[in-house]
Structure 1
Amino acid sequence: MRTSNHLIGFLNFLTFLLSIPILGGGIWLSTRANNTDCLKFLQWPLIVIGVSLMTISLAGFAGACYRNTVLMRLYLFVMFFIIAALIGFIIFAYAVTDKGSGHQVPNRVYSEYYLQEYSGWLKDRVADESYWSKISSCIRDSKACGKMGRTVGGVPETADMFYLRKLNPIESGCCKPPTECGYVYVNETFWNPGGGLVGSNLDCSKWSNEQDQLCYSCDSCKAGVLASLKKSWRKVSVINIVVLIILVIFYVVGYAAFRNNRRMDNDEPFGEARMTKARPSRIQL
């Protein structure tokens, strides 16, 4: 029985350590400039799961150390729902980021993004005008586009050098016009019409060289946010899947150890009774 308690305590200590990357993933999402920092509701499920897991693992550790059955029952009960919540979050994260990806542009290293390729709840949430005004304002305040400027030997980079850059989705979608619009490069965030607009992309008429406007109202900017969000969530989901597998194994082992403790507690009085009965009585003289 002492071995079972030590095992449960050790597993809860490991569970406490596993809660750190989950909580860290939520904090990482909340501090990601240019994307999820502007979608603050998205990191809260991870933060809540991480804090809950950290708290309940401490309760399970205390229950194992002090052989407190109530704490152990609470630990197993809550841990079950934490595992279920983590499974739900992983499924949700993959479902809402399932569609959409960047497209290579001829003679360009960076990719471009199209809103119509995304679908579902997350797209509707981001594309909603009332919500998008908050997101675009957040991206503007982050100065993401203003940080794109580069110089080579003290001279601003040329168009050919810019075309060879690997831009992130926010920079590609929000800080420059789509390539099909035919704008001519002046610098990273200043483009002149070249022989008139081409193509039927509505974003061509939304582009502005005003630094507080740029392409923040473009569908390509919304697609860039979705692409950046997808990339971040997929990274966190990989960590969550690994943690989930380990948690399930720990839960099964912990539950087996808890049942073993209960069985031995129930058998203890019977064992003592048998020993008492078997003890020979003194012979009265």
Structure 2
Amino acid sequence: MRSSNHLVGFLNFATFVASVPVLGGGIWLGSHADNTDCMRFLQWPLIIIGASIMVVSLAGFVGSCYRNTFLMYLYLWAMFFIISALVGFIIFAYAVTDKGSGQPVMNRVYLEYDLRDYSGWLEERVASRSYWSKISACIRDSHVCRKMGRSVGGAPEPAETFYLRKLSPIESGCCKPPTSCGFVYINETYWGYTGGLTGSDQDCLRWNNDQRQLCYGCDSCKAGVLASLKKSWRKVSVINIVILIILVLLYAVGCMAFRHNKRLDNDEPIGESRMEKARPSRMPF
């Protein structure tokens, strides 16, 4: 059973090394997010998960290598709570992102996004006035719409080329008006009025060619953020599932190593006492 100690030590060391880029990624997001809330959805989970795995893996590595029963005991309890938290986070992530998706439009490659397709806790949080003001400011300061610009021979790309672009949810929802409004394409973020709106969507009235406004106040922009968050959360959930499988394996091997260490601790005094009884007594001279 000593091999179980070596195996759990090796696996915990590998997990400790793997937790470094997870923790570093969370710290990087925190230092490059300009203190805006639109990046904090992934910042703190990455930091907490990375730090927890790092500490617990280190405790498991030391406990298995030095056969420290107390450290292994703490390791198993901490691993149990981390596994439970990961299961809860995965279920929560899938529950709050189970609704909503982009809608195809005729003669367009990019999708349109409608806030009415989303509901639940995440939609209420993003669409709330206080929270949306921070998210929209973050999107505006990131200049995501300005980066959409392309030119062909010094002129903006033609409409036919723009319609064939695969835009991100935020680019489609925040940087242009909904297709149903019937605006005329001039460039990626500047659209002409036709004298009358063909769409009844309130976003048609919210659209503004002012580059500081665009469609940042539109429901389509909120829907685009929700679609982007859904995609990001699903990616994080897939990574968490892989981590969860590894942690369950570590937990099972750790239980074997803990029982082995505890058995050795209980057997050593008995073995020593038997040796002392078997050892011949010395003569008093």
- TM-score, scaled to structure 2: 0.91
Larger displacement relative to structure 2 (239-248 or 24-33)? 24-33
Larger displacement relative to structure 2 (38-47 or 74-83)? 38-47
Q: For residues 161 and 31 of structure 1, what CA distance do their matches in structure 2 show?
A: 37
Q: For residues 281 and 13 of structure 1, what CA distance do their matches in structure 2 show?
A: 47
Q: For residues 18 and 104 of structure 2, what CA distance do their matches in structure 1 show?
A: 38
Q: For residues 79 and 153 of structure 2, what CA distance do their matches in structure 1 show?
A: 58
1:60-102 per-residue CA deviation (whole Å, 9 max, x = no partner) reads 2222333333222221111111111111111111111110000
Deviation of the 1:52 alpha carbon = 1.2
- Look up the SS of the partner of 2:135 in the other structure: helix
Q: For residues 245 and 258 of structure 1, what CA distance do their matches in structure 2 show?
A: 20
Deviation of the 1:42 alpha carbon = 4.5
1:11 and 1:254 in contact (8 A); partners too: no
CA gap of 1:32–1:180, structure 2 versus 1, over 3 A, is farther
Q: Which amino acid aligns with 1:159?
A: A
Which residue does the alignment assign to 1:221? 221
Which residue does the alignment assign to 1:252? 252
Q: For residues 5 and 46 of structure 2, what CA distance do their matches in structure 1 show?
A: 29
Which residue does the alignment assign to 1:75? 75
1:207 and 1:218 in contact (8 A); partners too: yes
1:169 and 1:228 in contact (8 A); partners too: yes
1:205-258 per-residue CA deviation (whole Å, 9 max, x = no partner) reads 100001100000000000000001111111111111011011101111111111
For structure 2, list consecutive stretches of 5 or more residues without a partner in the other structure: none
Deviation of the 1:272 alpha carbon = 2.7
Alpha-carbon RMSD? 2.5
Which residue does the alignment assign to 2:107? 107
| Number of equivalences | 283
TM alignment of 1:1-285, pairs within 5 A: 2-20=2-20, 22-23=22-23, 26=26, 38-279=38-279
1:29 and 1:37 in contact (8 A); partners too: no
CA gap of 1:3–1:272, structure 2 versus 1, over 3 A, is farther
Deviation of the 1:32 alpha carbon = 9.0
- Look up the SS of the partner of 1:104 in the other structure: coil
Q: For residues 89 and 163 of structure 2, what CA distance do their matches in structure 1 show?
A: 38
Q: Which amino acid aligns with 2:67?
A: R
- Look up the SS of the partner of 2:107 in the other structure: coil
Q: For residues 31 and 192 of structure 1, what CA distance do their matches in structure 2 show?
A: 39
Runs of 4+ aligned residues of structure 1 deviating over 6 Å after TM superposition are 281-284
Percent identity over paired residues: 73
CA gap of 1:55–1:233, structure 2 versus 1, over 3 A, is same
Larger displacement relative to structure 2 (19-28 or 158-167)? 19-28
Deviation of the 1:41 alpha carbon = 4.4
Larger displacement relative to structure 2 (113-122 or 71-80)? 71-80
For structure 1, list consecutive stretches of 5 or more residues without a partner in the other structure: none
CA gap of 1:169–1:139, structure 2 versus 1, over 3 A, is same
- TM-score, scaled to structure 1: 0.91
Q: Which amino acid aligns with 1:76?
A: L
- Look up the SS of the partner of 1:75 in the other structure: helix
